[in-house]
Amino acid sequence: MPLLQFNLVKDAWTKEQVQTILDSAYDVTLKTLGAPQGDRYQTVSYYDPDDLIMGDTGLGFQRSEKRILLNIRTRPRTREQKINFYHQLMEQLHDKLRLDANDLMITMIVNTDEDWSFTSGKAQFLTGDL
């Protein structure tokens, strides 16, 4: 936990590049959100370009086929943690993949301990198992 859900344009990335995206996000999650080692939950969904619509919200920029929409479900985080996550992930993806800053959009959806069951139909945060 957190759960990172990546939405990408189909055929815009190689398998190796997608792995770099996932590994970079995991690294940043450990560093900025305080997730413990091995706490890795990630999914990747692929869309035709016309099915992954990411406007500029009136900010006046363009996005490319390399656009990434990342949805994160997480326990509450501080404002500083969120800002650091956004910034550090962008830096890593730019450094490793030359990702344009306009091509990354991140949303964080906050939930609480009772919203997680990792196995066996139990709420491990509530039972004290975690």
Q: What tokens were used for 124?
A: 């491990």
Q: Which one of 2, 36, 49, 76 is the catalytic residue?
A: 2
Q: Are 4 and 70 in contact (CB under 8 A)?
A: yes
Pair of tokens at residue 117: 């069951």
Beta strand ranges found along the chain (DSSP E): 3-9, 41-47, 68-74, 104-110
Omega of the bond leading into 2 within 30 degrees of 0 (cis)? yes
Closest CA to 39 of 71, 88, 15, 74: 74
Q: Is 2 a catalytic residue?
A: yes
Please tell me whether residue 58 adopts helix, strand or coil conformation: coil
Please check whether residue 2 is in contact with residue 41, taking contact to mean a CB–CB distance below 8 angstroms: yes
Catalytic residue annotation? 2
